């Protein structure tokens, strides 16, 4: 009898659980249906609101509002974009970027929604006759990465507030109804951590708008890469490669408008320099020491310096390449006073061609050590690995209360297998009253 009672109780519990579950599911379904109906009504109201707005305010519109109904907070997202009649999309490719009508979208969501379907309504608004000046023009911007994938949310602004916005999911930004003229325009991927082909986070240029016409401008932005570089030079005494330092390197790619210089030409020397940020071209960068085209060891592609004097490396998108080593052509310079090696002399090595940002010839300054060798003041190393080039050398020192100075002109430092030896003797044949 007890067993029968227990079995009956278990059956009752199981049956009750099923009924309760059914009731809960029914309640949730009714609640979801009510929320869906309310959300759709909000989407309809938002469509009516958008239809009453000015066309200029709808272009690149993307806003989110919160509306509370019966204790439930609904999120209403409103977007607007000019689209092309031929493609029915906000395309900004060549020939497809005319602003024919405006597509407005209202999307409503709510907390704990179980349905994957949002309340969403799309419609189009045709500009009324005369609402857009036929004498005005349209500019369109297309932004893609190195692999030609559209980049959204790139900032575009121009004309001191004449137009501004972000690229959409198609990497497109279209700005219609602009008076003809020139506009100072900025296209920036800085907020996304992107750079353009020249490794810059933003591009500033003047663009022209032609009345009654559409102009499309194409840009490429991507996540930057890094190429680390260290240096060696040939020591003739030890007949081996030793670690060296450099103050600057050049990174160039055929896709760039001009080469980038990293470091400080003529400034502090370092055992390693990173070329960053770099656009991740699929082709390799040419990397060499120095800061000018005259420091390029192989400007005509004849390969006189070989790969040791320069490197060809691909910059990975958003990553760092394996470190590359550049061998610098070396100069062996000794400062003396007669037969005595001179310590404390100032040694200035001036590039005969390469100029710095101030349009002055690049100069590198050293101080001779007890062996008469110019030493890198930052490391104390007696090493003279230099960028590929031709140099004027000058040593100066105070000797017997007299300024002594001596120059040696046009010394070629353009070999990785031999090291020119230059001796500057301040004991005779010097010039006075002037430092280098």
Question: Which of 305, 328, 351 corresponds to the end of one domain?
Answer: 328
Residue 373: name the closest of 405, 349, 353 by CA: 349
Question: Is position 14 within any domain?
Answer: no
Contact 109, 75 (CB under 8 A): yes
Q: Which residue has the higher pLDDT, 157 or 115?
A: 157
pLDDT at 29: 60
pLDDT tens digits for range 20-33 = 555 454 545 677 78
Same domain (yes/no): 351, 385: yes
Question: Is position 25 within any domain?
Answer: no
Same domain (yes/no): 39, 115: yes
Instruction: Report the distance separating Cα 373 and Cα 382, nearest Å.
Output: 6
Residue 365: beta bridge partners? 348
Question: Is position 170 within any domain?
Answer: yes
Containing structural domain, residue 173: 137-222
Same domain (yes/no): 147, 161: yes
CA dist 336 → 267, 344, 383, 402 (Å): 26, 11, 17, 16
pLDDT tens digits for range 171-226 = 988 888 889 999 999 999 999 999 999 999 999 999 998 887 788 899 999 999 99
Q: Which residue has the higher pLDDT, 283 or 57?
A: 283
| Mean pLDDT, range 396-416, rounded to an integer | 90
CA dist 27 → 24, 35, 176 (Å): 5, 12, 50
Question: Which of 222, 253, 276 corresponds to the end of one domain?
Answer: 222
Among the listed ranges 3-7, 136-140, 278-282, which one has the minimum average pLDDT value? 3-7
- The CATH number assigned to the domain holding 360 equals 2.60.40.1120
Same domain (yes/no): 348, 321: no
Same domain (yes/no): 229, 177: no
Same domain (yes/no): 230, 302: yes
* pLDDT of 17 higher than 70: no
pLDDT at 27: 47
Backbone angles phi, psi at 405, to 5 degrees: -145, 140
Instruction: Report the distance separating Cα 47 and Cα 39, nearest Å.
Output: 12
Same domain (yes/no): 121, 144: no
pLDDT at 89: 53
Question: Is position 212 within any domain?
Answer: yes
Residue 362: CB partners within 8 Å, gap ≥ 6? Answer: 265, 266, 291, 292, 350, 351, 354, 355, 356
Residue 93: beta bridge partners? none
Residue with tokens 């920036």: 188
pLDDT tens digits for range 297-355 = 988 777 766 678 899 999 999 999 999 999 999 998 999 998 899 999 999 999 999 99
| Reported confidence tier of residue 293, pLDDT bands at 50, 70, 90 | very high
Considering its fold, how many domains does the chain have in total?
4
- Measured torsion, CA atoms of residues 135, 141, 142, 144, in degrees rounded to the nearest 10: 170
pLDDT at 93: 60
Q: Which residue has the higher pLDDT, 419 or 352?
A: 352
Question: Is position 3 within any domain?
Answer: no
Beta strands in 192-331 (DSSP E): 195-196, 202-209, 214-222, 225-235, 240-243, 248-252, 260-263, 272-278, 285-289, 310-313, 324-328
Same domain (yes/no): 318, 355: no
Residue 123 corresponds to which tokens in the numbers above? 């419609």
Same domain (yes/no): 295, 348: no
Among the listed ranges 44-58, 212-226, 279-293, 358-372, which one has the minimum average pLDDT value? 44-58
Residue 90: CB partners within 8 Å, gap ≥ 6? Answer: 81, 82, 83, 84, 103, 168, 170, 172, 174
pLDDT at 349: 95
* pLDDT of 419 higher than 50: yes
Express as a percent the part of the chain with pLDDT over 70: 87
Backbone angles phi, psi at 370, to 5 degrees: -65, -15
pLDDT at 199: 96
Instruction: Report the distance separating Cα 143 and Cα 202, nearest Å.
Output: 12
- The CATH number assigned to the domain holding 40 equals 3.30.1300
Residue with tokens 């009508």: 101
* pLDDT of 401 higher than 60: yes
Question: Is position 19 within any domain?
Answer: no
Among the listed ranges 64-73, 232-241, 328-337, which one has the minimum average pLDDT value? 232-241
| Mean pLDDT, range 265-272, rounded to an integer | 91
Residue 433: name the closest of 407, 408, 396 by CA: 396
- The CATH number assigned to the domain holding 323 equals 2.60.40
Question: Is position 24 within any domain?
Answer: no
Among the listed ranges 116-130, 343-357, 388-402, which one has the minimum average pLDDT value? 116-130
pLDDT at 212: 76
Question: Which of 222, 237, 259 corresponds to the end of one domain?
Answer: 222
């Amino acid at each position: 009898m007890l067993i029968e009672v227990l079995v009956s109780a278990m059956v009752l519990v199981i049956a009750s659980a099923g009924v309760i579950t059914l009731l809960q599911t029914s309640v949730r379904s009714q609640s979801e249906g009510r929320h869906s109906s309310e959300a759709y009504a909000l989407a309809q109201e938002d469509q009516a609101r958008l239809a009453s707005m000015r066309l200029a305010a709808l272009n690149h519109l993307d806003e989110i509002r919160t509306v509370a109904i019966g204790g439930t907070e609904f999120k209403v997202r409103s977007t607007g974009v000019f689209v092309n009649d031929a493609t029915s999309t906000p395309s900004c490719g060549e020939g497809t970027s005319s602003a024919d009508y405006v597509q407005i979208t209202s999307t409503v969501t709510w907390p704990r929604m179980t349905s994957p379907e949002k309340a969403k309504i799309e419609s189009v608004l045709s500009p009324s006759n005369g609402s857009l000046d036929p004498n005005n023009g349209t500019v369109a911007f297309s932004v893609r990465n190195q692999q030609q994938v559209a980049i959204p949310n790139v900032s575009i602004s121009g004309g001191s507030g004449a137009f501004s916005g972000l690229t959409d999911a198609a990497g497109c930004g279209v700005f219609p109804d602009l008076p003809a003229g020139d506009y100072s325009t900025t296209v920036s991927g800085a907020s996304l951590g992107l750079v353009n082909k020249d490794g810059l986070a933003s591009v500033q240029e003047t663009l022209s708008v032609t009345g009654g016409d559409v102009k499309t401008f194409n840009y490429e932005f991507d996540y930057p890469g890094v190429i680390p570089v260290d240096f060696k030079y040939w020591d003739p005494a030890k007949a081996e490669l030793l670690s060296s330092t450099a103050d600057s390197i050049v990174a160039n790619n055929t896709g760039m408008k001009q080469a980038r210089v990293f470091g400080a030409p003529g400034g502090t020397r370092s055992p390693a320099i990173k070329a960053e940020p770099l656009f991740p071209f699929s082709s390799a960068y040419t990397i060499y020491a120095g800061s000018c085209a005259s420091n390029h060891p192989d400007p005509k592609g004849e390969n006189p310096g070989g790969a040791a004097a320069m490197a060809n490396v691909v910059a990975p998108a958003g990553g760092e390449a394996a470190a590359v080593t550049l061998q610098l052509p070396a100069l062996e310079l000794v400062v003396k006073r007669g037969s005595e090696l001179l310590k404390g002399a100032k040694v200035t090595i001036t590039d005969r061609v390469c100029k710095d940002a101030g349009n002055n010839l690049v100069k590198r300054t050293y101080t001779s050590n007890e062996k008469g060798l110019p030493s890198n003041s930052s490391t104390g190393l007696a090493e003279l690995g230099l960028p590929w080039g031709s140099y004027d050398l000058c040593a100066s020192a105070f000797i017997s209360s007299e300024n002594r100075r001596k120059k040696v002109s046009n010394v070629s430092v353009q070999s990785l297998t031999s090291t020119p030896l230059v001796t500057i003797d301040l004991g005779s044949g010097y010039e006075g009253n002037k430092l280098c």
